[in-house]
């Protein structure tokens, strides 16, 4: 027997006063409507808008072991695309345009000066930005030409988890370089697992190495539970920590070359890999780094660009639909400040 969904709609009841039904004749109704229309026009003229105020949404912060788990009221930028975000702005400079993400940071190289901040230490799920750390650990313990015997079945993993894969299959033999391209260009979860098992012998052992690397980088907002970024209650990071990881990735020549590559052909009979980061080829000077998405995390991105010798890194977490617009807008704002001394700015009042 099929299940049916019933919808109950209560009938409208006539208003009553002292038990008598209220009735308005057309003669009395016309003047009343005229008063309402004129009154509405007068209010709209004074307020400049007829749109009702929106109540702020409440975002639930990720529960982190050993940390308080409480709801977070986001800044207006996380509620409406027309609201102004909380920010740091150079003295005399214009503010960056509003973003749709609920947390973000903009760093400038080489000193890592924070040019913009919005909820930078909020605990959030990072999605596939996790793979930045996977790559950092991998290059610490392997060589690019090191041959890896493949044991992970990418197509099966894709069916089981409905996630992105590189497409590796058991029996293949690929270089660590090929796997890193599959990890960072195609955001391959199969590549992440294979790298973890090759480097550490098991995924849990590799995850411990990831957390040790995070601690060595001074990242206090981050805890990893897997090498790929699929949602997990104990997997969390922040806009700040992800930006620092992106900054660290760009210091490695191999990884920096990988994340700025649009197309790569591994040593296999399969197709070439296309970079999922659409900022490349779209934003002038874009050099990477990584994008991510899950239902829980929303859209996440660490974007980097280089112009006139300046390197800017923007990290945006929890964007609803506009991560590229958010990232490119923050980058453009940062590059518009031509007087760069790579020194931290003071918070705007």
319, β-bridge pairs: 299
Spatial separation of the C-alpha atoms in residues 192 and 180, rounded to whole Å: 8
CA 316/CA 329 separation, integer angstroms: 11
Furthest-apart CA pair in the chain: how many Å? Answer: 89
Q: Which helix (H) or strand (E) holds 263?
A: strand 263-264
Catalytic residue among 103, 163, 187, 238: 187
For the sheet with 103-108, list strands across it. 113-118, 103-108, 310-319, 298-307, 286-294
Answer whether 331's CB lies under 8 Å from 301's CB: no
Is residue 8 classed exposed, middle or buried when 0-12, 13-18 and 19+ CB atoms within 10 A define those classes?
Answer: exposed
Count each helix (H run) and each strand (E run) in the chain, helices first.
9, 13
- Please pick, among 128, 237, 315, 328, the residue that the annotation labels catalytic: 128
Active site residue 187: yes
The yes-or-no answer on residue 163 being catalytic is: no
Cis status, amide bond into 36, omega within 30 of 0: no
Residue 9 has phi, psi (to 5 degrees) of: -120, 110
Q: CA separation (Å) from 97 to 54, 114, 156, 159, 277?
A: 20, 17, 43, 40, 22
Question: What's the Cα-to-Cα distance from 44 to each of 13, 36, 82, rounded to whole Å?
Answer: 31, 12, 19
Active site residue 128: yes
Catalytic residue among 103, 131, 238, 328: 131
The contacts of residue 109 (CB under 8 Å, 6+ apart) are 247, 250, 310, 311, 312, 313, 342
Distance, in Å, from the CA atom of 130 to the CA atom of 226, rounded to the nearest integer, reads 8
- For 127, which DSSP code? G
Q: How far apart are CA 82 and CA 116, in angstroms?
A: 18
- Other beta carbons less than 10 A from residue 265's beta carbon: 11
Tell how strand 71-72 and strand 16-17 pair up.
unpaired
**Is 148 in a helix, a strand, or coil?**
strand
Catalytic residues: 128, 131, 187
């Amino acid at each position: 027997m099929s299940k049916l969904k019933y919808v109950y709609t209560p009938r409208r009841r006539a208003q009553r006063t002292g038990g008598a039904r209220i009735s308005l004749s057309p003669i009395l109704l016309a003047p009343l409507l005229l008063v309402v229309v004129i009154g509405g026009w007068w209010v709209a003229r004074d307020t400049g808008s007829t749109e009702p105020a929106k109540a702020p949404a409440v975002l639930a912060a990720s529960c982190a072991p050993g940390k308080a788990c409480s709801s977070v009221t986001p800044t207006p930028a996380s509620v409406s695309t027309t609201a102004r975000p909380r920010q740091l702005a150079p003295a005399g400079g214009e503010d960056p345009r509003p973003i749709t993400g609920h947390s973000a940071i903009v760093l400038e190289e080489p000193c890592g000066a924070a040019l913009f901040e919005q909820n930078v230490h909020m605990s959030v799920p990072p999605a596939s930005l996790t793979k930045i750390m996977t790559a950092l650990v991998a290059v610490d313990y392997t060589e690019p030409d090191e041959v890896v015997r493949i044991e992970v079945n990418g197509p099966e993993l894709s069916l089981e988890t409905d996630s992105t894969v590189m497409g590796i299959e058991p029996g293949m033999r690929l270089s660590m370089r090929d796997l890193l391209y599959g990890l960072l260009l195609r955001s391959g979860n199969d590549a992440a697992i294979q790298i973890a098992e090759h480097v550490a012998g098991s995924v849990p052992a590799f995850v411990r190495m990831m957390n040790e690397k995070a601690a060595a980088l001074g990242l206090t907002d981050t805890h990893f539970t897997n090498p790929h970024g699929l949602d997990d209650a104990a997997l969390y990071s922040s806009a700040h920590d992800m930006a620092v990881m992106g900054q660290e990735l760009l210091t490695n020549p191999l990884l920096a070359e990988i994340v700025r590559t649009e197309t790569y052909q591994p040593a296999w009979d399969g197709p070439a890999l296309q970079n999922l980061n659409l900022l490349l080829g779209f934003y002038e000077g874009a050099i990477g780094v990584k994008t991510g998405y899950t239902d829980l995390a929303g859209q996440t991105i660490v974007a980097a660009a280089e112009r006139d010798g300046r390197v800017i890194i923007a990290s945006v977490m929890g964007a609803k639909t506009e991560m590229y617009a958010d990232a490119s807008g923050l980058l453009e704002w940062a590059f518009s400040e031509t007087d760069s001394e790579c020194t931290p700015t003071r918070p705007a009042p």
